């Protein structure tokens, strides 16, 4: 679902900003001297940023020639536009000394502080844009003092509390954007009195459950009403049908109930209606007379009745989304003839009849999603007639016949899912090699034919189980180089398994059970380094299980049962991370591997007369080496019990997953179109991002996916794109959603900014601002040259900035956020080496747990799984799994030790690593302190030569030691750490006590440090 982009400026504002392009003859007069001086003061207030380096006064220069400045005909400064300039700091308190200032645009910077009341002195201010910054606190109750405003945009900040009634007294307002903040109270009915208002956006806020005030419908000039994801309840007022000017309505992702107002679709100017993901019921009101409609999304409600025939009159309609409702009857034939239609999605309803034959014939159809209904007949012949078709999801219906031959010539097709129908015949020859095909799901039909030598270069998922395919696996299968998931179970595929099948480097799942395969398993099996699931059950395979199978280090599910395999079971197979094993009904012999001799594997080796075991619980004949001591039997039973518990969990999970798949086989529908969710104004689309996901652009790889650097325009502005692995499991899916929800809701100059997320089925992308200078880890631990480039002032700035970001998470977010994986590789650096904290894969999960536990008065949460990184995890976490902010403090202390010593957190990189028992940097530091070592001798040689900073280095080392103390209650909070560092920076160069000495005073542990720079023991 595309989130709507924010609208263009009003005609008045376009007129105002037209001055920005006029720097010619209108500048014959000189700008008043005091205005020019004020601009230079503004530049100085922001610490002379590089972006404003051109602000100077050479001969004959005028500020009106600067691109950020707009002047009147008399060269008085009327407008300032600093949008997207990455300016930090606060709003200059003297900015209103520019007496003619009418326009102020600070969009997308790093401005901090509360709402800037100093702007009250700008008596002529009409346009104010403070969006996408880091403002905090409430909007003041006297904001109506900005009485001339006609455009107010405060979106994308951290404003809290309620929206004051004073907003309703800004009578000149035409545009009001308050979306994407942290409002947690209410919005006032007084907004309904803004008679000139044309655009109202309150979306993505955590309001208390609220009804949309009925007087909002009195806004007769309102063109845009966007209040999605705002905790709205109750019914939509019927008087909304009186808002004749309304063009754009988005009330999605709320808890609205009742029916759709009768007159809604009679509004003549209405072009976009988003009511998806509510609790609306009843039928779609008729007649439909809003002939300007381009997008209608009523999905994920409880709507019923028939799809109106009047929808066939919407000749401008591009998107019709009605999925996940209870609609019945036929799909109107006239919808198939709509000339602008690109996307039609009605999956998971109760529709019957045939799919209109003209779909794709008269429009540039891109997406057709009709799965999980009761549809009959054939797929329409013309789906790809205009060469734009991207995806078709028609699974779980009663469709029949052969596939349209035209699909074989559809080069744009990326996704086709038609499983669980009654299709027959062969697949169109060209379909296998369609240029852009990524996913082909045709299982549970009656298709015939053979596997091809060649498939589409990018085909990664092929599901063709439960059909009538014959023939062998072609040797050309080696050309399927991007295949990840291949399922061909329960067909009539015969012959041997060619060694070329083992040459697929990305293959994770191979399901060939229920066929007629013969011969041995190929010895080249070891090249399946990515394989996690292998099922060859119910074939006629023979020979021995190759010893090379033990090289499949990621294999977790193995089923070779009901074949004719013989010989011994390779003993090393027990070293694999196998959670599901079935070798039953073969001709295997000898002892089963000792690690499998427990009740968890009681069904894994049945019907192999030659196998034996020393454990009678496995129902195999006894081996001569059966233990006789009772202690050994006791140990075996204990081990069996311990291993059987997780095995039961695995079996239950497998069964549950299978039932869930059978229940929601329509899930593939989401795979056919990208869902683009932006969190601020963007100058790129998902197409820009997708085009850049090439191997040449890959800059990193982690446990959950790859990271790319992608250019989004011709000026080579970059973003960072984190692509979560395809076929992610539930754990990684939760990680993805946690990172999205957490990052999109917080704003801080030292926390990486999430720009948008893009998802399609199993593919999930996170798009961040790009950090030119990589990570702190990259500079510290990639060699002495890079480490030396990170001089001490840079390191100190990084420490302070990272501390500020963590303090914001711990103390300013409600509820507080625990990062849980603070480390140097998660501290990214921009072009000026300013730090930004990244990677919140577990933060949202922690926030939810903390929120639940706080109701019972608990100060910490308990987790059942270990997360974090070795060398950074606090010792108490490894013992109790109890999590609180002190754990992040410990990790941050390790980062401080990295900054001061240049050593790695896991204890590597020092000459003592082979002779010391310490296993982490924190333990090494404490060990050196306890030995009475002089701290100066422990510092990084690359920066220690900067003697003027030696005291600061020593003090930062001490603070790192303090943060990593074993007792959590003895560690400072991040707020205290920031206070220490900021006081140090502020007073370090002043007379009297030095900054480092002031820092020492902050802690009893540090205040008694020895004169040689060592800590007391």
Q: 861 pLDDT exceeds 50? A: no
Confidence of residue 988 (pLDDT cuts 50, 70, 90): low
- Strands, E, within 744-866: which ranges? 754-760, 763-769, 827-829, 835-837, 861-862
- Angstrom distance (rounded) from CA 876 to CA 567: 49
Q: Is the dihedral of CA 203, 205, 206, 207 positive or negative?
A: negative
Q: 368 pLDDT exceeds 60? A: yes
* Mean pLDDT, rounded, for 503-508: 90
Closest alpha carbon to 286 in 314, 303, 264: 264
List 511's β-bridge partners, or say none.
487, 535
Closest alpha carbon to 121 in 79, 93, 91, 80: 93
Confidence of residue 760 (pLDDT cuts 50, 70, 90): confident
- Per cent of the chain over pLDDT 70 is 80
User: What are the two backbone dihedrals, phi and then psi, of residue 576, each rounded to the nearest 5 degrees?
Assistant: -75, 155
Highest mean pLDDT among 47-56, 705-714, 975-984: 47-56
Confidence of residue 601 (pLDDT cuts 50, 70, 90): confident
What pLDDT, in 10s, does the model give residues 90-111? 999 999 999 999 999 999 998 9
Q: 52 pLDDT exceeds 70? A: yes
Residue identified by tokens 């209650």 is 969
Instruction: State the pLDDT at residue 983.
Output: 74
Closest alpha carbon to 187 in 148, 225, 227: 227
Instruction: State the pLDDT at residue 832.
Output: 85
Decide: 830 and 836 in contact? Cβ < 8 Å: yes
Closest alpha carbon to 614 in 624, 606, 604, 605: 624
Decide: 155 and 133 in contact? Cβ < 8 Å: no
Instruction: State the pLDDT at residue 1.
Output: 42
Instruction: State the pLDDT at residue 799.
Output: 94
Instruction: State the pLDDT at residue 743.
Output: 65
- Angstrom distance (rounded) from CA 275 to CA 266: 16
Inter-CA distances, 798 with 116, 468, 887, 896, 900, Å: 28, 63, 20, 10, 12
Q: What is the DSSP string of 132-198?
A: SSEEEEPPPTTGGG-TT-SEEE--SSEE-SPPPGGGGG-TT-SEEE--SS---S---GGGGG-TT--
Instruction: State the pLDDT at residue 595.
Output: 82
Of 186-190, 474-478, 494-498, 875-879, the one with minimum mean pLDDT is 875-879
Instruction: State the pLDDT at residue 812.
Output: 79
CB burial of residue 841 (10 Å; 0-12, 13-18, 19+): buried
Decide: 245 and 223 in contact? Cβ < 8 Å: yes
Confidence of residue 741 (pLDDT cuts 50, 70, 90): low
Plot region of 86 (φ>0 → left; ψ -120 to 50 → alpha; else → beta):
left
Instruction: State the pLDDT at residue 670.
Output: 39
List 255's β-bridge partners, or say none.
233
Q: What is the DSSP string of 8-43?
A: PPPHHHHHHHGGGG--SGGG-SPPPHHHHHHHHHHH
Q: 857 pLDDT exceeds 60? A: no
Residue identified by tokens 């979560």 is 724
* Known catalytic membership, residue 821: yes
Point out the catalytic residue in the list 821, 839, 940, 951. 821
Q: 262 pLDDT exceeds 80? A: yes
Residue 993 marked ligand-binding: no
Inter-CA distances, 38 with 64, 113, 869, Å: 13, 21, 50
Inter-CA distances, 365 with 292, 314, 317, 380, 456, Å: 19, 15, 12, 12, 22
Of 243-247, 515-519, 906-910, the one with minimum mean pLDDT is 906-910
What number of other Cβ atoms are within 10 A of residue 976's Cβ? Answer: 15
What number of other Cβ atoms are within 10 A of residue 42's Cβ? Answer: 21
Confidence of residue 572 (pLDDT cuts 50, 70, 90): confident
Torsion of CA 73, 78, 82, 88, to 10 degrees: 140
* Mean pLDDT, rounded, for 992-1012: 40
Q: 578 pLDDT exceeds 50? A: yes
Instruction: State the pLDDT at residue 28.
Output: 33
Of 487-501, 614-628, 770-784, the one with minimum mean pLDDT is 614-628
Q: Percent helix, strand, coil in the chain (nearest 5)? A: 30, 20, 50
Of 135-139, 230-234, 569-573, 942-946, the one with minimum mean pLDDT is 942-946
Of 10-24, 695-709, 718-732, 847-861, the one with minimum mean pLDDT is 10-24
Stretch (H or E) spanning 731: helix 730-744
Highest mean pLDDT among 506-520, 663-677, 991-1005: 506-520
- Angstrom distance (rounded) from CA 72 to CA 163: 34
- Which two tokens mark 310? 């009047």
Q: 606 pLDDT exceeds 70? A: yes
Q: What is the DSSP string of 518-577?
A: EEPPPGGGGG-TT--EEE--SSEEEEEPPGGGGG-TT--EEE--SSEEEEPPPGGGGGS-
Torsion of CA 558, 457, 524, 544, to 10 degrees: 40
pTM of the predicted model, to two decimals?
A: 0.70
CB neighbour list of residue 992: distance below 8 Å, 6 or more residues apart: none
What pLDDT, in 10s, does the model give residues 77-91? 999 999 999 898 999
What pLDDT, in 10s, does the model give residues 173-224? 999 999 999 898 899 999 999 999 999 999 999 999 999 998 998 999 999 9
Instruction: State the pLDDT at residue 30.
Output: 46
Q: 16 pLDDT exceeds 60? A: no
**Buried-exposed string 432-462: b where 16+ CB fall within 10 A, e elsewhere:** bbbeebbbbbbbbbebebebbeebbeebbbb
What pLDDT, in 10s, does the model give residues 416-454? 999 999 999 999 989 999 999 999 999 999 999 999 999
What number of other Cβ atoms are within 10 A of residue 716's Cβ? Answer: 7
Instruction: State the pLDDT at residue 853.
Output: 45
How far is C-alpha 71 from the geometric centre of its chain's CA atoms? 43
Q: 738 pLDDT exceeds 70? A: no
Average pLDDT, rounded, for the chain: 82
- Angstrom distance (rounded) from CA 770 to CA 692: 14
Q: 678 pLDDT exceeds 60? A: yes
Q: What is the 3-state secondary structure (H, E, C) of 305-329?
A: EECCHHHHHCCCCCEEECCCCEEEE
Residue identified by tokens 């990570």 is 775
Inter-CA distances, 269 with 243, 846, 870, 959, Å: 10, 46, 59, 63
Task: Compare 79 and 27 and report the one with higher pLDDT.
Answer: 79
Q: 261 pLDDT exceeds 70? A: yes
Task: Compare 19 and 130 and report the one with higher pLDDT.
Answer: 130
What number of other Cβ atoms are within 10 A of residue 849's Cβ? Answer: 18
Task: Compare 724 and 175 and report the one with higher pLDDT.
Answer: 175
Confidence of residue 749 (pLDDT cuts 50, 70, 90): confident
* Mean pLDDT, rounded, for 488-508: 93
Decide: 341 and 317 in contact? Cβ < 8 Å: yes
Instruction: State the pLDDT at residue 987.
Output: 57
Closest alpha carbon to 755 in 184, 114, 180, 105: 180
Decide: 493 and 517 in contact? Cβ < 8 Å: yes
What pLDDT, in 10s, does the model give residues 270-296? 999 999 999 999 999 999 999 999 999
What pLDDT, in 10s, does the model give residues 449-463? 999 999 998 999 999
What pLDDT, in 10s, does the model give residues 518-560? 999 998 887 788 898 999 999 999 999 999 998 888 888 999 9
Q: 610 pLDDT exceeds 90? A: yes
User: What are the two backbone dihedrals, phi and then psi, of residue 882, each rounded to the nearest 5 degrees?
Assistant: -90, 135
Q: 727 pLDDT exceeds 80? A: no
Instruction: State the pLDDT at residue 912.
Output: 43
Instruction: State the pLDDT at residue 415.
Output: 94
**3-class state of residue 930 by DSSP:** helix
End-to-end CA distance of the chain: 61
Closest alpha carbon to 390 in 669, 673, 686, 2: 673
Q: Which domains does the chain have, with CATH numbers?
A: 1-208 (3.80.10.10), 674-769 (3.30.200.20), 776-1007 (1.10.510.10)
Of 747-756, 807-816, 859-868, the one with minimum mean pLDDT is 859-868
- Per cent of the chain over pLDDT 90 is 53
- Which two tokens mark 893? 């202390």
Q: 883 pLDDT exceeds 50? A: yes
Task: Compare 661 and 362 and report the one with higher pLDDT.
Answer: 362
């Amino acid at each position: 679902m595309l989130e709507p982009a924010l609208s263009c400026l009003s005609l008045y504002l376009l007129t105002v900003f037209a001055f920005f392009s006029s720097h010619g003859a209108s500048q014959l007069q000189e700008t008043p001297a005091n205005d020019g001086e004020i601009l230079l003061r503004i530049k100085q207030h922001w610490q002379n940023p590089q972006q404003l380096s051109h602000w100077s006064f050479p001969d004959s220069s005028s500020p009106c020639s600067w691109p950020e400045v707009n002047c009147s005909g008399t060269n008085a400064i009327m407008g300032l536009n600093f949008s997207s300039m990455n300016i930090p700091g606060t709003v200059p308190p003297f900015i209103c000394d520019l007496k003619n200032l009418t326009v102020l645009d600070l969009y997308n910077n790093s401005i901090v502080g509360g709402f800037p009341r100093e702007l009250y002195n700008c008596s002529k201010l009409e346009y104010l844009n403070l969006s996408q910054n880091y403002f905090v606190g409430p909007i003041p109750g006297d904001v109506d003092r900005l009485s001339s405003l006609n455009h107010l945009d405060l979106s994308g900040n951290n404003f809290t509390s309620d929206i004051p009634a004073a907003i309703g007294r800004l009578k000149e307002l035409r545009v009001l954007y308050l979306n994407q903040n942290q409002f947690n109270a209410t919005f006032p009915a007084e907004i309904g009195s803004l008679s000139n208002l044309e655009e109202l956006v309150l979306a993505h806020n955590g309001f208390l459950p609220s009804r949309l005030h009925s007087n909002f419908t009195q806004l007769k000039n309102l063109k845009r009403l966007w209040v999605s994801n705002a905790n709205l309840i109750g019914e939509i007022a019927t008087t909304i049908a009186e808002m004749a000017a309304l063009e754009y309505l988005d009330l999605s992702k709320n808890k609205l109930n009742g029916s759709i107002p009768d007159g809604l679709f009679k509004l003549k100017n209405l072009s976009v209606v988003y009511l998806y993901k509510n609790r609306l019921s009843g039928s779609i009101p008729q007649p439909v007379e809003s002939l300007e409609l381009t997008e209608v999304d009523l999905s994920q409600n409880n709507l019923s009745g028939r799809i109106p025939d009047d929808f066939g009159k919407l000749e401008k309609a591009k998107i019709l989304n009605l999925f996940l409702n209870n609609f019945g009857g036929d799909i109107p034939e006239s919808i198939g003839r709509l000339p602008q239609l690109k996307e039609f999605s009605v999956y998971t309803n109760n529709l019957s009849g045939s799919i209109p034959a003209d779909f794709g014939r008269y429009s540039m159809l891109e997406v057709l999603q009709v799965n999980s209904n009761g549809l009959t007949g054939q797929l329409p012949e013309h789906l790809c007639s205009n060469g734009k078709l991207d995806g078709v999801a028609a699974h779980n219906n009663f469709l029949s016949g052969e596939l349209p031959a035209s699909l074989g010539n559809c080069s744009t097709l990326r996704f086709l899912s038609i499983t669980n129908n009654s299709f027959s015949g062969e697949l169109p020859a060209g379909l296998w090699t369609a240029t852009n095909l990524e996913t082909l799901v045709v299982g549970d039909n009656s298709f015939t034919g053979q596997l091809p030598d060649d498939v589409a270069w990018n085909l990664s998922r092929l599901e063709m189980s439960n059909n009538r395919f014959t023939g062998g696996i072609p040797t050309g299968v080696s050309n399927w180089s991007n295949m990840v998931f291949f399922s061909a179970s329960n067909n009539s595929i015969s012959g041997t398994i060619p060694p070329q099948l083992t040459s697929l480097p990305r293959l994770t799942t191979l399901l060939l059970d229920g066929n007629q395969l013969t011969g041995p398993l190929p010895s080249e099996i070891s090249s399946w380094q990515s394989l996690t699931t292998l099922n060859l059950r119910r074939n006629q395979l023979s020979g021995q299980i190759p010893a090379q199978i033990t090289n499949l280090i990621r294999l977790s599910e193995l089923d070779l049962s009901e074949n004719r395999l013989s010989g011994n079971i390779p003993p090393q197979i027990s070293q694999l991370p196998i959670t599901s094993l079935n070798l039953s009904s073969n001709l295997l012999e000898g002892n089963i591997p000792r690690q499998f001799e427990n009740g968890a594997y009681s069904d894994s080796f049945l019907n192999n007369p030659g196998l034996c075991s020393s454990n009678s619980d496995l129902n195999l004949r006894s081996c001569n080496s059966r233990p006789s001591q009772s202690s050994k039997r006791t140990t075996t039973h204990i081990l069996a019990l311990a291993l059987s518990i997780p095995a039961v969990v695995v079996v239950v999970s497998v069964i549950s997953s299978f039932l869930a798949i059978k229940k929601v086989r329509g899930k593939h529908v989401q795979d056919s179109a990208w869902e683009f969710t932006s969190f601020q104004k963007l100058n790129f689309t998902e197409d820009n991002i997708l085009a850049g996901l090439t191997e040449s652009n890959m800059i990193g790889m982690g446990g959950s996916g790859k990271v790319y650097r992608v250019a989004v325009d011709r000026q080579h502005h970059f973003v960072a794109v984190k692509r979560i692995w395809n076929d992610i499991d539930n754990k990684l899916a939760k990680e993805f959603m946690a990172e999205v929800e957490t990052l999109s809701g917080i704003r801080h100059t030292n926390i990486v900014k999430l720009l948008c997320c893009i998802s399609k089925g199993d593919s999930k992308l996170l798009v961040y601002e790009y950090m030119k200078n990589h990570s702190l880890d990259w500079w510290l631990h990639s060699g002495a040259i890079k480490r030396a480039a990170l001089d001490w002032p840079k390191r100190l700035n990084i420490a302070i900035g990272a501390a500020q970001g963590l303090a914001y998470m711990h103390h300013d977010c409600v509820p507080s956020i625990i990062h849980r994986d603070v480390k140097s590789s998660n501290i990214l650096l921009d072009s000026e080496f300013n730090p930004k904290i990244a990677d919140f894969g577990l933060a949202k999960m922690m926030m939810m747990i903390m929120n639940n536990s706080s109701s019972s008065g608990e100060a910490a949460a308990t987790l059942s799984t270990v997360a974090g990184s070795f060398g950074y995890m606090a010792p108490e976490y490894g013992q109790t799994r109890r999590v609180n902010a002190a754990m992040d403090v410990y990790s941050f202390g390790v980062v401080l030790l990295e900054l001061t010593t240049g050593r790695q957190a896991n204890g590597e990189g020092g000459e003592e690593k082979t002779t010391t028992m310490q296993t982490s940097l924190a333990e090494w530091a404490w060990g050196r302190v306890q030995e009475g070592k002089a701290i100066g001798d422990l510092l990084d040689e690359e920066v220690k030569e900067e003697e003027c900073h030696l005291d600061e280095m020593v003090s930062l080392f001490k603070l790192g030691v303090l943060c990593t103390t074993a007792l959590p209650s003895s560690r400072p909070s991040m707020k205290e750490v920031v206070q220490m560092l900021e006081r140090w920076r502020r007073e370090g160069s002043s007379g009297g006590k030095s900054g480092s000495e002031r820092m020492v005073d902050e802690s009893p542990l540090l205040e008694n440090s020895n004169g040689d720079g060592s800590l007391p023991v």
